[in-house]
Amino acid sequence: MGLGTVVVTGAAGTIGSVVRRALRGEVDRLALLDRVPLRAEAANEEVHTVDLRDAAAVETALAGADAVLHLGGLPDEAPLEHLLEANVLGTHHVLEAARRAAVPRVVLASSNRVTGFYPVTHRTGPREPVRPDGLYGVSKAAVEALGRLYADKFGISVICLRIGSFEEAPAEPRHLATWLSPRDAVGFCRAALAAPLSTCFATVYAVSGNTRRFWELPAESELAYTPLDNAEAHASHIADTDPHADSGVDSGAGPEAPQGGPYALPEFTLKHLRP
């Protein structure tokens, strides 16, 4: 079964670029949105230079869509006002445009940083309370809350993907737990777009099948995708791997160290606060 017309926001980004190439052969029409001008690379692609803060422009771009993959926004720690504008308000505009255009499925890019303060020895599930490791994580918790609201109140089928460390290959000890390979990123996005519309709302961790992962993988009933890659295949190339508890963090961090690693340090957020 084809995916019909799919809109991808943040299509010029790191994940957006990979997903774009993978999906273009599986959809009737692929509408690509970004603040950065893009060029159509296939007959079924159309490009829109859109700032997600522009609600009217977002609504126009979503016309006729069967599903939206919302990857746009600020991808890292920043002053809260910037995160609220780009991530929370931008997501609201996408969901509101989907409601007005009767788009049945929206996939939202959330982040593992929503739960970055759980300890590395705790296998975290998506139904546990959020414990963001910074302001970025706070903004993504708000994104998930908006998705839940639009699912419950307006009947849009919303799936939130808590994306892991998206890299070509693991590059540091923490990645042995958090890595999301490009192949698995595409797999999770494709599965979320194609999931039955009877799924009203779901939050799943999008992470490769890493032996040392911190997070629960989705059950078949939540998302029909099983990761294909495992960071352990790259462990011999990563220095200072902590063997204790298979935590995948720097040696000496200890079993109570937060999953967010350096993102959970006060200094990571203090530089974005008023002095």
Tokens representing residue 76 in the block: 């890292």
CATH class for domain 5-270? alpha beta
pLDDT at 251: 38
| Residues in contact with 96: Cβ distance below 8 Å, sequence separation at least 6, in sequence order | 55, 59
**Helix crossing, 135-154 with 90-100: angle to 10°?**
10
**Residue 201, H or E segment:** strand 201-206
Beta bridge partners of 215: 124
pLDDT at 239: 77
Distance CA 20, CA 23 (A): 5
pLDDT at 253: 63
Beta bridge partners of 248: none
Distance CA 151, CA 54 (A): 22
Q: Which residues are catalytic?
A: 136
Q: Is 32 helix (H, G, I), strand (E, B) or coil?
A: strand
Per-residue confidence in pLDDT tens, the chain, 275 aa: 579 999 999 999 999 999 999 999 999 999 999 999 999 999 999 999 999 999 999 999 999 999 999 999 999 999 999 999 999 999 999 999 999 999 999 999 999 999 999 999 999 999 999 999 999 999 999 999 999 999 999 999 999 999 999 999 999 999 999 999 999 999 999 999 999 999 999 999 999 999 999 999 998 878 999 999 999 999 999 976 553 334 444 434 688 999 999 999 999 999 999 98
pLDDT at 35: 97
